[in-house]
Chains A and B, each alone.
Chain A
Amino acid sequence: MNAQPTELQDLYRNTVLEHSRTPRNFGRIDDADRQAEGHNPLCGDKLTVYLKIPGDHIDTVHFEGVGCAICMASASLMTEVVAGQSIDAARNTSESVLGTFADPDRDAENLPGQVPALAGVRSYPSRIKCATLPWKTLIQALSGESLIATTE
C-alpha cells in the first residue's frame, strides 16, 4: 500500500530538479504545424505542446505551461528525446514511456535519453499523472486532433 521509497532524492533527482528549474524548449511556436493542450484537472497542471513537422520528421518540439516540478521536467526531457524522430517513432517512444511509468516492474533504464531520471515517480501513485501529462499531450498533438488531452 505504501510503496514510497525512503529517499526523496529518488523522485527529485538532480536531473529532474535542474530541468524543472530551467526547462528546455520552453515557449510557444506561433507557426506550429501541430499543437495540443494537456490538462490535469486534479492538480491544475496545464501545458501546450507545439510541433514543427516540415516533412516526415519532427523538426522542433516546444512546450509551455504551468505545473509541478515533475510535470515540467518530464515535458522538458521529452522535448529533448523526440526532436528529430519520425511521427511514428515519436508515438512509439511516447507509448513506451507511458507504459514504463505505469508499470514499476519494467526496467526504467530502457527509457530514452535522460527520462530514466523520472522513474522514481512510479513509487508515488498520486504523482504519476504529473509525469505522464506531457507525453499524453504529445501523442494528441502527433495525432493531429485538436482535442484536449487529460489525465482523467
Chain B
Amino acid sequence: MSANKASLQTTVSDAVELDVARIRQDFPILQQELNGHRLAYLDSAASAQRPAAVIDAISQYYEHDHANVHRGVHTLSHRATDAYEGAREKVREFINAESIREIVFTRGTTEAINLVANALGEQLQAGDEVILTQLEHHSNIVPWQMLAERRGIELKVIPINSAGELVLDGLDDLFSDRTRLLTVSHVSNALGTINPVGELVAAARKRGVLTLLDGAQAIPHTAIDVRQLDCDFYAFSGHKMCGPTGIGVLYAREAVLAELPPWQGGGDMILTVSFSGTTYNELPYRFEAGTPNIAGAVGLGAAVDYLSAIGMARIAAHEHQLLEYATDRITGISGLQLVGTATHKTSVLSFNVDDIHPHDLGTILDHQGVAIRTGHHCAMPVMEHFGIAGTARASLALYNDRDDIDQLIDAIHRAVEMFR
C-alpha cells in the first residue's frame, strides 16, 4: 500500500518537469556574462547561488525587522525573534524533525560537526572508538583527529572501492564494544557517491552506537527526513542549498542532545549566571551561545520556502536527468577519466583529462564562462585512494540546464586542443 503511494508520488513529480528557464530567472547572478561568455555555473557543490527571494528576505529583515533576539521587550526585538524562530520551524518541517528543540543553528556543517565532536567528545574516554569513512570531507575527519589527540579515542575508517563506493564487507569487524559513534557523509562532496546511510545507521543502532550524517551535499538534492533516516545527528549548511553563507544546522535527536554538555559559553545559552553557579538554557538554546546569525537564519528560511515550493522530488528528478545527459556527453571525450562512478550518485562529475592538470583545466574553462572547482576538494584521502593530486569537478544544481553541459563539453575540447 505504502509502496503504491510512493510510486504514485514519483509519477506525479516526474510528470511536472522543472521549468529550468523560469528558475534561472530567479537567480540574479546567473544573468551575467563572464569573460565574454554566458555564465555556466557548475560549482554548486562548493557553494550554490541564491534566488532573489533569499536575497530579498535578508534585505527585508535588515531594513525592517532587525534587533537582537530573545532579549528586548520592544517591537523590533519581537519581530527579529519571530523571524529567527520562524526560520527554525521551517527547517524543522523541511527535514521532518519532531521538535524545534532538535534544531541548533550553527555557522555551517563544519561547526555542527565540531559541536558534536566537542560536546559528545567530553563524554568519551581514551580507547573509545569513532567510525568514519575514507570518503569524508576534511570537516568530518579533522575534528575527530583533534578529539583523538585530546582524549585518546581511536578512529576506524571504512574503505572505498575503485568506483568510489564504501566497502561494507568488513563493517562488522570495525564495530567493537568501544564504538561510540559512526559518522559518515550522506553524499560524497568529491565524487557524488550516495552512501547507503540506511544500512549504516541500522548497523550502528543495532549496537547502540550513535550516528552522525554529514548532509551538506545531500540536502540540496533530495528530500531529507531525519526520522526516516533514524540518525542521531544530521549536519548541513545553508549556502549549499541556496541560502546564505555562515548559517547551518545541526539536527540532533532530542533525547541525545539533552544528555550533551554545552560546548560554547556566553549569552543566550544560559538561564541564570552568578559566581556561585550558572544554569543553562533549555534546548536548543543551550547550544547557541552569543547573538546568532539572525539574518542568515532568515535567509535560510527563505531558501527552504523556495526549494519546498518547487519540490525536492522534482529537483532530484531534474538533476538526475541532467546528470545522465552530462555523464553521457562527458564520457564521450577521449582521454577523459571520470573519477567516482558509483551506482548511486548525485549531480557531481569529477574527472581528469589526459595529463592536463586540473588547475590548467579550471583556468581554461573559466575563460569560456564555465565555473568549476579544481583540486582535492577538501577530501585528500579520496584523492590518495585514486593516486591523484586532484580532479576537475563539475557539480549541478536545480538551475543548471543542458546549455551549461554543452558549454562545459565545448570548453573541455578547447583545453584538449590547446594542450595537444
Residues of A within 8 A of B (CB): 2, 4, 6, 8, 11-12, 17, 21, 42-46, 66-70, 124, 127, 130
Contact = CB atoms under 8 A, between A and B. Distances in A.
Contact of B376 (A44, A46, A66): A44
B383 to A, nearest CB: 8
Nearest to A121: B363
A6 B359 CA distance: 18
A124 B363 contact: yes
A66 to B, nearest CB: 6
Interface string B80-104: 0000000000000000000000000
A69 B359 CA distance: 9
Contacts of A68: 357-360
Contact of B390 (A12, A44, A127, A130): A44
Contacts of B36: 6
Contacts of B390: 43-44
B359 A12 contact: no
A42 B418 contact: no
A17 B417 CA distance: 12
Interface in B161-188: none
B363 A42 contact: no
Interface of B: 35-36, 356-360, 363-364, 366-367, 374-376, 383, 389-390, 418-419
B367 A130 contact: no
Nearest to B389: A44
Given A6-B36, A17-B419, A66 B363 contact: no
Contacts of A44: 375-376, 383, 389-390
Contacts of B356: 69
Contact of A127 (B359, B375, B376): B359
A70 B367 contact: no
A70 B360 contact: yes
A12 B389 contact: no
B357 A69 contact: yes
B375 A42 contact: yes
3 smallest CB-CB distances across A and B, nearest first, come from A68-B357, A44-B389, A68-B359
Contacts of B367: 4, 8
Residue among B35, B357, B389 having the largest count of chain A Cβ atoms under 10 Å? B357
Contacts of A11: 363
B418 A130 contact: no
B363 A43 contact: no
Given A4-B366, A11-B363, A69-B357, 14 more contacts: A2-B35, A6-B35, A8-B364, A12-B360, A17-B418, A43-B359, A43-B374, A43-B390, A44-B383, A44-B390, A66-B389, A70-B360, A124-B363, A127-B359
B234 to A, nearest CB: 30
A13 to B, nearest CB: 11
A6 B375 CA distance: 24
29 contacts: A2-B35, A4-B35, A6-B35, A6-B36, A8-B363, A8-B364, A8-B367, A8-B418, A11-B363, A12-B360, A12-B364, A17-B418, A42-B375, A43-B358, A43-B375, A44-B383, A44-B389, A46-B389, A66-B389, A68-B357, A68-B358, A68-B359, A68-B360, A69-B356, A69-B357, A69-B360, A70-B360, A124-B363, A127-B363
A127 B366 CA distance: 13
Nearest to B35: A4
Nearest to A68: B357
Contacts of B419: 17, 21, 69
A67 B357 contact: yes
A38 to B, nearest CB: 14
B116 to A, nearest CB: 27
Contacts of B360: 12, 68-70
Contacts of B358: 43, 68
A21 B419 CA distance: 8
A107 B389 CA distance: 34
A42 B390 CA distance: 10
Contacts of B375: 42-44
Contacts of B389: 43-46, 66
Contacts of A130: 359
A66 B389 CA distance: 9
A126 to B, nearest CB: 8
Contacts of A124: 363
A42 B356 CA distance: 17
A31 to B, nearest CB: 29
Nearest to A71: B357
A12 B418 contact: yes
A12 B419 CA distance: 9
